[in-house]
Amino acid sequence: MPILVDAHADIAYNMLKYGRDYTRPVSETRALEAGSPIIKENGDTLISWHEYQRGRVAVIFATLFASPLRFRSYETEPLVYKTFDEAHKLYSDQLDVYHRMQDSVPDKFTILASKRDLKTHLDQWHSSTPEASNPVGMIILMEGAEAIRNIRELEMWHERGVRLIGPAWVGTRYCGGWKEPGPLTDDGRKLLSAMSDFNFTLDLSHMDERAAVEALDVYEGPIVGTHANCAALMPNSGTNRHFTDRIIEGVVARDGVVGVVPFNSYLKAGWSREKDHPREEVPLDVVADHIDHICQLAGDSLHAGIGSDFDGGFGLQSVPPEIDTVADLQKLVSLLRSRGYSEADAGNILGGNWLARLKRDLP
């Protein structure tokens, strides 16, 4: 079973919003939350340390995220901001969560901030027996950059362990984004210029195409899409959330990786849990379709990966039926092999491609 890297996991957000404890087994969390408003709002959890072990998920990109107030889901929703100072506080609080996890349960979660950290971590995973348990390495990813009040703060975020920055979720002061299209702004151009001084990896996910195209041209550091599916396979989806072939080809040209999201609404246009569409309408094979599309555009298996976005606003009820937890993403190996991909190709896609970029791009 290959090592799996999940390039998008909303751990701290869910811990603070719902009180989820990811050291607890999935079955226990589901039992505790059964019948609660959490299930209607987000769905049953898909992740835990135990499931990361079962699925050999050695590394996750652990996010910092909060929503602008104008996109809150309900009147009393926490973790929303209306000022940059509020965003800064919310994101800083989530980063504190990851540092506390590393301090309190170092046998389960650890922050990876350097090539040395990554090597030590992977050496432990590779040298352990299949029955052994290992800590999950966390690469810190900022999703939406309005927590960066000014570019002078980039040094502080870097010192605290942030290694990837996605300027957008919806539209931000830096660029157009999901539901709010638009180009890079002047502040966005200044942000990218300053980010390159620290070699932050730029995450194009959620950026509007106009902003992403310019970023591909001007950003001097590494570029990826941690969690984005293929617009070409989602005709008439009515959203700018997915990557066009132009963006995928741009990421490939910059030797980046695009992480595919196993979320049914991002796999089949029109699918909606709110409309009681059954999850059986979207088999896991559709995830393989998106992976294959990226590989066909690239001409190899070296630029596709996984970015699950678990538990980011959806859960068990909104993923392909073959998935009960994150560990079941390993089922993609047999699906890819059945399409003619080699064992090495499948290993690249499940984790090797992300690891190669981390080995190259971490300080």
In three-state form (DSSP H/G/I as H, E/B as E, the rest C), the secondary structure along the chain is: CCCEEEEEECHHHHHHHHCCCCCCCHHHHHHHHCCCHHHHHCCCCCCCHHHHHHCCEEEEEEEECCEEHHHCCCCCCCCEECCHHHHHHHHHHHHHHHHHHHHHCCCCEEECCCHHHHHHHHHHHHHCCCCCCCCEEEEEEEECCCCCCCHHHHHHHHHCCEEEEECCCCCCCCEEECCEEEEECHHHHHHHHHHHHCCCEEECCCECHHHHHHHHHHCCCCEEECCCCEHHHCCCCCCCCCECHHHHHHHHHCCCCEEECCCHHHCCCCCCCCCCCCHHHCCCHHHHHHHHHHHHHHCCCCCEEECCCECCCCCHHHCCCCCCCHHHHHHHHHHHHHCCCCHHHHHHHHHHHHHHHHHHHCC
What is the reported pLDDT for 10? 98
What is the reported pLDDT for 124? 98
pLDDT for residue 212 is more than 80: yes
The chain-wide mean pLDDT, for the chain, equals 97
Strand-pair partners of 86: none
Q: What is the pLDDT of residues 282-341, one digit of tens each?
A: 999 999 999 999 999 999 999 999 999 999 999 999 999 999 999 999 999 999 999 999
What is the reported pLDDT for 73? 82
Q: What is the mean pLDDT of residues 107-121?
A: 99
Q: What is the mean pLDDT of residues 73-92?
A: 93
Burial tier of 126 (Cβ tally within 10 Å: 0-12, 13-18, 19+): exposed
pLDDT for residue 76 is more than 80: no
Percent of the chain with pLDDT over 90: 97
Fold of 4-361: TIM Barrel (3.20.20)
Predicted TM-score (pTM) of the model is 0.97
Percent of the chain with pLDDT over 70: 100
What is the reported pLDDT for 130? 82
What is the reported pLDDT for 225? 99
143 φ/ψ angles, rounded to the nearest 5 degrees: -105, 110
Q: What is the pLDDT of residues 138-190, one digit of tens each?
A: 999 999 999 999 999 999 999 999 999 999 999 999 999 999 999 999 999 99
- Give the pLDDT band of residue 120 (cuts 50, 70, 90): very high
Angstrom distance (rounded) from CA 22 to CA 52: 10
- Give the pLDDT band of residue 113 (cuts 50, 70, 90): very high
Q: What is the mean pLDDT of residues 110-123?
A: 99
